[in-house]
Structure 1
Amino acid sequence: MSSRRIIIGDVHGQYDALLQLMEAIAPQEKELVYFLGDLIDRGLNSAEVVEFVRQHRYGCLLGNHEQMLLEVLGS
């Protein structure tokens, strides 16, 4: 049996919505979860979203909002 690959994009700091989504899809330990960037900006909880993805060790690409932040910070 193959496991799912779960692809999520454009969370934009919407931590509560992310938690609701993750509860609804209920990824299992062996399933792969990837975020396609734009974890931050617009919503009020960008730091919580980033920490959630980091703690769960999900794959994540940089989106244009992360790239803009890095440019502002000079990284």
Structure 2
Amino acid sequence: MAMTPSAIRFEPEEKSWIAAFAEMNGTTFSAQVRQWTLERLEDEMDARDLQMAIDEDDGSRTSWQDAKRDLGLA
């Protein structure tokens, strides 16, 4: 997969802190920032999906007993 360069500005102390963490974990500054960004994006999308499901929930439920009966497992 081809990567596209992007620029993110950090304060020198922030960059040093991130670089030290990346080195400690055997990765590069860029890979560490990319990993954190994608993980955060996934978390945000999961939270958004959950909120949408909660907003759409009508409160109706099927009991475990009813589900087993409907599937012929009871």
Shorter chain as denominator, the TM-score bin is: under 0.3
> Which one has a larger percent strand, Structure 1 or Structure 2?
1
Task: Kindly indicate whether structure 1 or structure 2 has the higher relative contact order, using CA contacts under 8 Å at least 6 residues apart.
Answer: 1
Using structure 2 for the length normalisation, give the TM-score. 0.22
> Which one has a larger percent helix, Structure 1 or Structure 2?
2
Larger radius of gyration: 2
